Amino acid sequence: MLKFFRIAASVWLFLAALFFVSSSDAQTVTSFEGIDASTPGNTATLRVVDPNGAVGTKQYLEWIDTAYQGYNKTTFAPVYSTLPAGDTPWLAAGQTNCEGKAGNGVAIFDHLASRWVIAVRQGSNTTSIYYFCVAVSNTDDLTASNFAWHAYTIPLNTLLGTNSQGKTYFPDYPKIATWADGYYITIDLEDPSNAFQEVGVLVCALDRANMLTGGTPRTPQCFTYPNPVTGSLFLGHSLYPADVEGTLAAPVGTPELLVSIQNPKNTNTSSLLNFWEFHVNWTTPSQSSFTGPKQVTVPSYIPGCYDVPAPTNTVCVPEPTTSTTSNFIDSVGDRLMHRFAYRRFTNAPPYQSYLVSHDVQVGSVSLSQTGIRWYEFSSGAALLNSGTINPGDGNYRFVPSVAQDSAGNLAVGYSVSGTSEHPSIAASYLNLRGGNSAPTEIPLFAGTADEENAYHWGGYTSMTVDPVDDCTFWYVNEYFTTPQAGTTVTWQTRISNFKAPGCAAASRVK
């Protein structure tokens, strides 16, 4: 077990460099530094780190591609004196197949069980042997004397399939989510013989009941789409499983809902999203099913930075130094963004709400300015609400993540960059139950430098809701204060929290 340490709150409040921002609604934002390239013990040499995390009952847990760290929710002091490497839970359990610098890791908090969950892909293109590694905590307190991870290693090769040359499809961009009857994972399938073009997706249900207790999980139940995988470009890039917010699970028997974008073909405009339903039956696995896609019409959109001749090329976001470096940032606009957030309300009438977001063009042509599109769906995947965030300042907004508090407030965090705006972090909020009010944007943290030596920005971020008050939004994203140029790696991450007006324990709608 890693040792942790405590430092006086007053000292850490100074070291954390807190600041407060007020909007016209007197909105207060609290922000502190997360894992940086310069964090002691950080061995990351990657220019891209995919920052994400989740808020729990006692701490915030942040994950980058090679390490993780917990933070006290009050003092913001780091839990671990030495930054744990991303493979720590599995090596502690003797599971060496999960050893190494992890890729595309995700950290979530299981609200239904008050447990931490981290998951990551392991393996290499050299060996073409891959694993999916999942760890579930035995308590909600990272500093508890008995804290431990229940670690699991899932071999992937027999699930991934092979291309026409007999090569195993590469597992990319995995995501994991909590549902009452399982942990659901989605993994993109990419063809190593065709420049790693996405050709489909693997979807699995994991035995959450036994994983929570440290028991032996039943065999994962998995499906691929399309079935069979043909090797053609998959325009429904990256499925997302619904992830529960709050302590109310969906009604018993409700299938897991999954969603993906529907990228256009031979044009730049789409008006569809795809939905699948996963019914898992642990008693009789042959009766499990994965059905879809059901295509749902939404307001038309041009995916962020969409290039019709090259639909997987989504690089067009400028920085102030772009005019001299010719370096643009990847908007990751060819897919929806983590998370697909679910919340159940029991007020009259009761209803279920699913939220997802992505970046879209706010100009009339491809490769023009990007804004944030969000959607709310019902349990039947019917569109309830949608909107586009574009304050009209000429800046690009991208890599969003959306969540909903217990009062029906939506909050979405994202990056902001432009020809005169260094990549910075912002969020917008509005009330879904109050007539879908216009969004209010609030700055979370201002960057002062650019990523000059790489086009690929972090591939996802995460907005989550505090399980204690069910009101406070917590968001993590990346930025720069020192130019990342040449061979240097200078990325930084920032964790922010705020409440939308009108959310308090006494005024919840559920």
Report pLDDT digits (tens) over 343-367. Answer: 999 986 889 999 999 999 997 666 7
DSSP per residue over 91-138, as a string? HHTT-GGG-SS-EEEEEEEETTTTEEEEEEEEEETTTTEEEEEEEEES
Q: What is the mean pLDDT of residues 142-164?
A: 97
- Residues of the chain with pLDDT > 70, as a percent, come to 92
What's the distance, Cα to Cα, between the start and end of the chain in Å? 39
pLDDT at 366: 64
| Distance, CA of 463 to CA of 341 (rounded, Å) | 9
Is residue 404 over pLDDT 70? yes
* Selection from 157, 219, 221 nearest residue 189 by Cα: 157
Q: What angle do CA 371, 300, 465 make, to 5 degrees?
A: 50
Report pLDDT digits (tens) over 284-320. Answer: 999 999 999 999 999 999 999 999 999 889 999 999 9
Which pTM does this prediction carry? 0.93
| Distance, CA of 68 to CA of 413 (rounded, Å) | 21
pLDDT at 83: 94
Element at 10 (helix H, strand E): helix 9-15
Are 298 and 382 spatial neighbours (Cβ–Cβ below 8 Å)?
no
Question: Dihedral of the CA atoms 89, 90, 91, 95 (nearest 10)?
Answer: 160
**Residue 25's pLDDT band (cuts 50, 70, 90):** very low
Is residue 40 over pLDDT 90? no
**Residue 89's pLDDT band (cuts 50, 70, 90):** very high
Beta bridge partners of 66: none
pLDDT at 126: 80
Report pLDDT digits (tens) over 98-125. Answer: 998 767 899 999 999 999 999 999 998 7
Q: What is the mean pLDDT of residues 496-501?
A: 96
For residue 20, what are its two tokens?
Answer: 């407060």
Report pLDDT digits (tens) over 222-271. Answer: 999 999 999 999 999 999 999 999 999 999 999 999 999 999 999 999 99
Q: Where are the alpha helices (DSSP H) in 157-294?
A: 157-160, 208-213
Specify the CATH class of 17-507 in words: mainly beta
| Distance, CA of 507 to CA of 470 (rounded, Å) | 11
Report pLDDT digits (tens) over 2-22. Answer: 333 333 333 333 344 444 444
Are 107 and 117 spatial neighbours (Cβ–Cβ below 8 Å)?
yes
pLDDT at 284: 97
Question: Structural domain boundaries of the chain?
Answer: 17-507
Are 218 and 205 spatial neighbours (Cβ–Cβ below 8 Å)?
no
